[in-house]
Amino acid sequence: MSSKWQAFQNITQHISTLFALILNGSLIHLVLKKSPNNLGVYKLLIIYTATTEIVFTILEIIVQPVTIYCEIFGSLLAIFSIQFIYRYWVVSGNEWIESFSGFKILLWLMIPVCCGSIWGLAAYFPCAPRPKSDQYLRKSLLDEFNLTVEDNLYIAPYFYEKSENGTVEIYLPSFLSIVIDSILINISIATAFYFGFKCYSTLRKSKDMASSQQYKSLQTQLFYSLVTQTLIPVFLMHIPAFAMFILTFLEVDVGPLSGIVTVTIALFPAIDPLPTLIIVKSYRNAIQSYLVLFLNAIARCIAPGAISTHPSHVRTLSLYFLLISQRMIDWENSQYAFQIIAAILATISNSLLIYLITHFSPKDIGDYKHLMLFISMFEVVYAMLDLIVQPIFYSFRATFTLIVNTTNSKIDKKFWEIMAVIYCGFFGSSMAIFSLHYVYRYWVITGNSQNLSYFKGRQIFWWLVIPFSIGLIWALVGYFPCYPRKGSSDYLRYGVQEKLSLDIDQIVYFAPYFYEKNDVGEDLIYWPSFVGVCLDSMSINLSMFIVVFYGVKCWNKMRNILTTTSSHLESIQNQLFYALVAQTIIPIFLMHIPALTMFMFSFFELDAGHLSGLVSFSIALFPALDPIPTILIISSYRDAIKKFVQKKCSKFRKTKIGKLLVKAQPTVKCSNGVM
């Protein structure tokens, strides 16, 4: 397989991953915020599918846990078959629809998990590498990919083996695993086809029924979007994979053409959310409104003093920008537009860093790349969470409030409370993740191999429990001491209505309200809020102490020890350390210092007003900026980007347009000649 074809595959995978994250993240947001009232439990199934596709596309780009990748591959059609069952029971009014209510839905969601587990087991045991498959694949991998079997991981249903006397024997476990996988896929397809056909028949009959036109339209939109969503993985994943299995069974070698399967599978999660986004009217209209809002924000920056123009008279994009620049954008919409841009930039920058880490990391970086990958994936999820929750931070004298506007949401407020709490957990755990990096870097510099062994293999997960635990503390503090109560609601009611035009009873908020008035009007300290904020402060200060302590020790050791090591190793360790320092400074200044300032304002009963809203902007900016120092400081990553740009520029210069531009460049004369 040529290097160009492999490069094309890699580019396709990374572009598809980017679009998959953006589109599936957007779909999750629209399902939560803009779903029709009568969508019911089905929105949870849509979210479940979109989340699965996000996990699938991330796994595909990193593809370290091959077994898990196979599990998700095998579970996707089972997910769609469950949606067809639900759709039929909805349109037919079947009493079995109650089996999807409450916690019962978890039993349905276990079906894809079980199907995926069987696929994973089939991949891990019958298709795992073994000496005879190694011997069979060794030459092909070396010739086609320039890879060695011993240094790479693979899963292969090797059907035929040669015995010591040269006779061909059938390896039954591989055949059995393929048969089991095929049965599961066929059951899922048969279920989807059967209930899909019954749903279609019922929808045709419903045209004569007395149900409202709006209801019929919604059910038809959901059905056709589901059909389209199901056809996409069938044609992009299962048919190509099935064709490869058949060719393998017949011992037909298609060579590089088999790489097409890699491309089609990569395209699936990027394309699959589009039918729902386009076909379902409420989501389509929401996208249009967001687009107008986005253009509005840009137009106000470009032409804030433009003359108003009626939309029907708009003929060009420039005139439309002049029109929308006249419309008023409130603080919340401006913040949301900023969060969209920040989330997109965060996804792009962190995805780029993940690609660079997995493909261009120095050999001496060791297990540290796993910590780097973890924090990049953490920041992608954090950016998406920030976009979904859309937290509004506001200071009201004695309290600093996190608000989630649920006024127009069709989702139960309890769900948004949980999402807000998870958001708080992510906020609190970020600095703990960096503290682990400093501990690791110090042990590398000092050559503490015994302690470094604790980061090997599965033991690294014990270290990742630390930021998870700190995040859990932040979540519990947000949910209990800062949970809405009568005193805090009464205190915030007027300010929320006057300054944000929101009804305190229609929103979700968490506020460390430090003071309350008793029945005679005296101020009393509300101790749970103080204790909660103290716990949060202690966790952050502990993380900061570890960062400073190990950071200083690491810097001192680098000055003393690295002078005796090779210049190459010294350069790598310096780059990693300074990149980590820069990465740590960004959340300190964009997240923790602004949040601490607002807490101090609240403690002293000072009202920061709209200035407190800047916290929302700075926090949204953090995951977009944080990967940049690593990309720029580490030379191997910087050189990879430089070579890529130079290669593209070189190719562009050879095109007709490029040649014309080169010829059109003016020459500048100087006293010594032509420059």
Strand partners, 525: 515
Strand partners, 209: none
In the three-class reduction of DSSP (H, G, I as helix; E, B as strand; rest coil), residue 571 is classed as: helix
**C-alpha gyration radius of the chain:** 29
Task: Tell me 165's DSSP state.
Answer: T
Q: Where are the alpha helices (DSSP H) in 485-566?
A: 486-500, 527-561
Whether 66 is covered by a domain: the verdict is yes
Tell me the C-alpha distance between 661 and 229, whole Å.
44
Q: How far is C-alpha 628 from the chain's CA centre?
A: 18
- Among residues 113, 114, 84, 116, which one has the least CA distance to residue 100? 84
Residues 535 and 570 in one domain: yes
Query: In terms of residue numbers, what domain contains 446?
Result: 381-627
Residues 6+ apart with CB under 8 A from 666: none
Whether 275 is covered by a domain: the verdict is yes
Residues 230 and 318 in one domain: no
CB atoms closer than 10 angstroms to residue 9: 16
Tell me the C-alpha distance between 246 and 276, whole Å.
33
Tell me the C-alpha distance between 397 and 328, whole Å.
28
| Whether the Cβ atoms of residue 438 and residue 550 lie closer than 8 Å to each other | yes
Tell me the C-alpha distance between 135 and 138, whole Å.
5
Question: How buried is residue 414: exposed, middle or buried, by Cβ count under 10 Å (0-12/13-18/19+)?
Answer: exposed
Residues 178 and 295 in one domain: no
Strand partners, 169: 161
Residues 556 and 666 in one domain: no
pLDDT, tens digit, 9 for 90 and up, residues 599-656:
777 766 667 766 787 888 899 999 999 999 999 889 899 889 888 888 887 887 777 6
- For 395, half-sphere exposure in the C-beta direction (CA atoms, 13 angstrom radius) is 24
Residues 6+ apart with CB under 8 A from 468: 429
Whether 284 is covered by a domain: the verdict is no
* Cα dihedral sign, 407-413-419-422: positive
| Whether the Cβ atoms of residue 195 and residue 86 lie closer than 8 Å to each other | no
Tell me the C-alpha distance between 510 and 608, whole Å.
17
Tell me the C-alpha distance between 625 and 426, whole Å.
17
Tokens standing for 580?
Answer: 């980590």
Counting the structural domains of the chain, the total is 4
What integer pLDDT is reported at residue 432 of this predicted model?
92
Residues 405 and 264 in one domain: no
Residues 513 and 560 in one domain: yes
Task: Tell me 209's DSSP state.
Answer: S
CB atoms closer than 10 angstroms to residue 168: 10
Tell me the C-alpha distance between 661 and 623, whole Å.
38
Residues 270 and 297 in one domain: no
Residues 409 and 552 in one domain: yes
Whether 354 is covered by a domain: the verdict is no
SS (H, E, C) 332-357: HHHHHHHHHHHHHHHHHHHHHHHHHH
The size of the chain, in residues, is 675
Whether 258 is covered by a domain: the verdict is yes
Residues 475 and 541 in one domain: yes
- The interaxial angle of helices 614-625 and 331-360, nearest 10 deg, is 20
Tell me the C-alpha distance between 521 and 276, whole Å.
55
Whether 84 is covered by a domain: the verdict is yes
Q: Any idea what the CATH number is for the domain that residue 230 is in?
A: 1.20.1070.10
Spell 590-618 as b/e; 16+ CB within 10 A means b.
bbbebbebbbebbbeeeebeeebbebbbb
Tell me the C-alpha distance between 347 and 385, whole Å.
12
Could you tell me the CA-to-CA distances from 630 to 58, 85, 571, 577 in Å, in that order? 20, 48, 14, 10
pTM of the model: 0.58
Residues 581 and 653 in one domain: no
- Among residues 316, 510, 287, which one has the least CA distance to residue 394? 510
Tokens standing for 186?
Answer: 């066929």
- Among residues 132, 103, 221, 126, which one has the least CA distance to residue 179? 126
Q: Which residues of the chain have pLDDT under 70?
A: 1-7, 63-69, 144-145, 153, 159-160, 162-163, 166-168, 206-212, 248-258, 295-332, 521-523, 561-566, 603-606, 609-610, 656, 658-675
Tell me the C-alpha distance between 407 and 494, whole Å.
17
What integer pLDDT is reported at residue 668 of this predicted model?
38
Residues 58 and 80 in one domain: yes
Whether 162 is covered by a domain: the verdict is no
Whether 342 is covered by a domain: the verdict is no
- Among residues 195, 174, 207, which one has the least CA distance to residue 83? 195
- Paired sense of beta strands 669-670 and 673-674, if any: antiparallel
What integer pLDDT is reported at residue 660 of this predicted model?
66
Tokens standing for 178?
Answer: 């393929």
Residues 305 and 429 in one domain: no
